[in-house]
Amino acid sequence: MEMLKGKKAVIFGVANERSIAWAISRSLHEEGAELAFTYAGEVLEKRVRPLAEGIGSRIILPCDVTKDGQIDEVFATLKAEWGALDILVHAIAFAAKEDLSNPYLQTSRQGFQLALDVSSYSLVALSRHAASLMEGRKGAILTLTYMGSEKVIPHYNVMGVAKAALEASVRYLAHDLGPKGIRVNAISAGPIKTLAAAGIPGFKEMLHYSSERAPLRRNVDAEEVARAALYLVSDMASAVTGEVLHVDGGYNIMGM
């Protein structure tokens, strides 16, 4: 149907073929969007480059979002190569391992700062750069969040606090960028077995627990998140901004 024909999108957060960002990339590409990718460090370049080149992308750049210089470099390249931008996908989160196992009470200043810098502030920085390339183009910005921002999920800890800041940022950014016609939204996805989830002890049991309790009685997959993402970044959602859309089989509505 080519819903995104002629649109230019930059994707932050592909680590491998299981990444939610990769499923989103495939669905945007299928609809005719032209994509640029970033990767966080040399180790991931080996994974991201072949995936990106496989769908015809030419712009594949390093970007650790804790480094202002690398962010500047990405958007300078996009400006030089494309001159404009329509879509930004932010699918990045990180907290130190110990902060996802110790009680939240133990979170250090450094651990708190790292989690909020990578997982929350990065959306603000990337959106500011993206907005300057979206002038007059009805841009769309999308991020990924998790229900641990709203309710206590044991061990999610400082990541829950970072996702709460991320979701509030979606609303404040939507307010700032709305007058320019730029929409900012988030998808709150149910648990999916990706690289970021692989390191979490007991993740399999968590998947089982949520599949038994969700109204749809199953887990969601990255392709289902990608279809919702396509909706939010496309003209189908032209009046939707500042929204957090749950794609979790309905899990979040349950009280008991």
Q: Which is nearer to ligand NAD, 51 or 192 (CB)?
A: 192
Catalytic residue among 104, 121, 156, 209: 156
Collapsed DSSP state (helix, strand, coil) of residue 174: helix
Q: Is 104 a catalytic residue?
A: no
Question: What residues make contact with ligand 0WE under the rule CB under 6 A?
Answer: 93-95, 97, 100, 146, 153, 155-156, 159, 191, 196-197, 199-200, 206
Distances, alpha carbon 37 to alpha carbons 50, 54, 238, 239, in Å: 11, 12, 25, 27
Q: Under rule CB under 6 A, which residues in 57-96 are in contact with ligand NAD?
A: 63-66, 91-94
Q: Of these, 89, 126, 134, 192, which contacts ligand NAD (CB under 6 A)?
A: 192
Range 62-98 burial, b when 16+ CB lie within 10 A, else e: bbebbeeeebeebbeebeeeeeebbbbbbbbbbbbee
Nearest approach in angstroms of CB 245 to ligand 0WE is 15
Question: Alpha-carbon Rg of the chain, whole angstroms?
Answer: 17
Nearest approach in angstroms of CB 249 to ligand 0WE is 13
Q: Is 209 a catalytic residue?
A: no
Q: Which of 38, 248, 35 is nearest to 151 (CA)?
A: 248
Residue 216 binds ligand NAD (CB under 6 A): no
Cβ atoms < 10 Å from Cβ of 204: 12
- Positions in the binding site for ligand NAD (CB under 6 A): 13-15, 19-21, 40, 44, 63-66, 91-94, 118, 144-146, 189, 191-192, 194-197
The set of catalytic residues is: 146, 156
